[in-house]
C-alpha cells in the first residue's frame, strides 16, 4: 500500500511497514528548500539493520524480504562437455543488460542508442543484441563508439549512462528508428531471449486509486523501466470480477502493440488519467500460448 509521508510520525509508521512489504512510502522532497529531507532521514534511520533487529526482526526475515524483492536472474545458453545446450543461471553482474532510453538517427554517424547500463560491461567492437522489435525478434549489433557527457569511452560499466553508435552485424539489415524504439533492451548475445519476450504476462497488482472499478478489457498505460506501452487486462485470477481502490489481485496483461522484454520480479506502474496502480511480474506467458488468447 502506498503511503504519503509528510510528518515525522508518518515516517516512523512507514518505516515499520517496509520490512513486511506492506507499505511503500512516498516522500515529497524539495532540493531547493530541503522540505521533506528530515522525513527521509527518519525513515532511513528507522530501517537501519540495528533498528530492525531491535524491533525483533530476525536475520532470516531480512534475507527472505531481500530475496523476494530481487528480480529473476537471466539465463544463457552454454555448451556442455557433450556440446549440448543447457540454461544455467549465471550472476546478473556478468550479463549485459541496458534498457534503451532513446534512439537517434544522426547524419554522418548513423544509428544511436542511449541508455543506462544496469549490469555487465562491454567495450568498443563488442557484439551485443538489441530487441525485441515489433515481431519479438532480436538483432545482433556491433558497438562502433560510445560517449558519456561528451566524453568518449572505451568501456561502459554498470551505472553509467551513455550514447552508443552501433551497426548491424547483418549487412543486409538497416537499423532505423522505425524499427527500434524506446523500451527495447541491449543484451549479451548468449542470452536466451525467448524466455523473457512476450506480449502476455501475469502480475500481482494493487489499485492505488480508481474512481470506479477495474475489470477485464481495461487498458492502462504501463511503465516498467523504459517500457511505455498500453496493456489490456485479459483476465483477473481471483474470486471477484472487478477490483477497486485498495484491492489486490492476480491479473493477466497483454501488450497492445508489440512484445516486450520482461523478467519475473520486475515492478511497474500503470495509469489511466487519475487512476493509478502498481504491480510485480510473476510469470511470463510463452509466445506460443499467447496465440490462443
Provide the pLDDT for residue 48. 64
Would you say residue 62 has pLDDT above 50?
no
Residues 180 and 100 in one domain: yes
Give the pairing type, strands 24-26 and 2-4.
Answer: parallel
**Residue 78 belongs to a domain:** no
**Residue 80 belongs to a domain:** no
**Higher per-residue confidence, 69 vs 225:** 225
Over residues 135-139, mean pLDDT: 93
Over residues 66-85, mean pLDDT: 56
- Asked if residue 264 lies in contact with residue 237, where contact means CB atoms within 8 angstroms, the answer is no
Counting residues of the chain whose pLDDT is more than 90, the rounded percentage is 61
Residues 37 and 106 in one domain: no
**Residue 74 belongs to a domain:** no
Provide the pLDDT for residue 219. 97
Domain boundary residue, one of 195, 229, 255: 195
Provide the pLDDT for residue 86. 46
Domain boundary residue, one of 195, 216, 247: 195
Residues 157 and 207 in one domain: no
CATH number at residue 107: 2.40.30.10
Report the interhelical angle of 8-17 vs 37-46 (nearest 10°).
40
Provide the pLDDT for residue 287. 77
Provide the pLDDT for residue 52. 56
Provide the pLDDT for residue 59. 44
CA 200 to chain centre: 15
Residues 99 and 183 in one domain: yes
Domain boundary residue, one of 195, 222, 250: 195
Would you say residue 177 has pLDDT above 50?
yes
Q: Where residue 88 falls among pLDDT bands split at 50, 70, 90? A: very low
Residues 102 and 181 in one domain: yes
Nearest to 119, CA basis, from 191, 12, 208: 191
Residues 189 and 213 in one domain: no
Please name the residue that has the C-alpha cell 483476465.
Answer: 235
Nearest to 287, CA basis, from 85, 136, 87, 134: 136
Would you say residue 84 has pLDDT above 80?
no
What does the mean pLDDT of the chain come to?
Answer: 85
Over residues 92-102, mean pLDDT: 86
Provide the pLDDT for residue 78. 55
Over residues 234-251, mean pLDDT: 89
Distance in angstroms (rounded) separating the CA atoms of residues 3 and 6: 10
Would you say residue 64 has pLDDT above 60?
no
**Residue 121 belongs to a domain:** yes
Q: How many domains does the chain have?
A: 3
Over residues 103-112, mean pLDDT: 92
Residues 228 and 285 in one domain: yes
* Segment 15-46, tens digit of pLDDT: 888 777 678 889 999 888 889 999 999 988 88
Nearest to 198, CA basis, from 264, 114, 248, 139: 264
Residues 188 and 209 in one domain: no
Q: Where residue 162 falls among pLDDT bands split at 50, 70, 90? A: very high
Containing domain of residue 59, as a range?
A: 2-69
Amino acid at each position: 500500500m502506498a503511503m504519503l509521508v509528510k510528518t515525522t510520525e508518518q515516517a516512523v509508521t512507514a518505516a515499520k511497514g517496509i520490512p513486511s512489504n506492506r507499505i511503500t512510502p512516498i516522500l515529497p522532497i524539495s532540493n531547493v528548500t530541503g522540505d521533506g529531507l528530515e522525513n527521509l532521514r527518519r525513515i532511513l534511520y528507522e530501517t537501519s539493520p540495528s533498528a530492525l533487529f531491535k524491533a525483533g526482526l530476525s536475520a532470516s526475515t531480512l534475507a527472505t524480504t531481500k530475496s523476494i524483492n530481487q528480480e529473476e536472474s537471466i539465463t544463457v545458453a552454454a555448451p556442455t562437455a557433450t556440446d549440448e545446450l543447457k540454461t544455467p543461471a549465471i550472476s546478473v553482474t556478468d550479463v549485459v543488460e541496458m534498457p534503451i532510453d532513446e534512439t537517434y538517427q544522426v547524419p554522418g554517424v548513423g544509428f544511436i542508442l542511449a541508455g543506462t547500463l544496469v549490469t555487465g560491461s562491454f567495450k568498443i567492437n563488442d557484439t551485443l543484441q538489441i530487441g525485441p522489435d515489433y515481431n519479438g525478434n532480436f538483432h545482433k549489433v556491433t558497438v562502433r563508439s560510445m560517449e558519456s557527457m561528451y566524453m568518449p569511452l572505451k568501456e561502459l560499466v554498470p551505472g553509467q549512462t551513455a550514447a552508443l553508435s552501433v551497426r548491424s552485424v547483418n549487412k543486409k539489415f538497416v537499423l532505423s528508428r522505425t524499427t527500434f524504439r524506446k523500451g527495447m533492451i541491449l543484451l549479451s548475445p548468449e542470452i536466451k531471449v525467448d524466455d523473457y519476450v512476450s506480449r502476455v504476462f501475469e502480475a500481482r497488482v494493487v489499485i492505488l486509486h480508481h474512481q470506479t472499478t477495474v475489470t477485464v478489457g481495461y487498458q492502462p498505460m504501463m511503465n516498467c523501466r523504459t517500457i511505455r506501452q498500453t496493456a489490456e487486462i485479459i483476465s483477473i485470477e481471483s474470486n471477484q470480477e472487478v477490483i477497486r481502490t485498495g484491492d489486490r489481485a492476480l491479473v493477466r496483461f497483454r501488450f497492445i502493440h508489440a512484445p516486450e522484454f520482461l523478467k519475473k520480479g520486475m515492478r511497474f506502474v500503470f495509469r489511466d488519467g487519475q487512476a493509478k496502480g502498481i504491480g510485480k511480474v510473476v510469470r511470463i506467458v510463452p509466445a506460443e500460448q499467447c496465440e490462443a488468447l
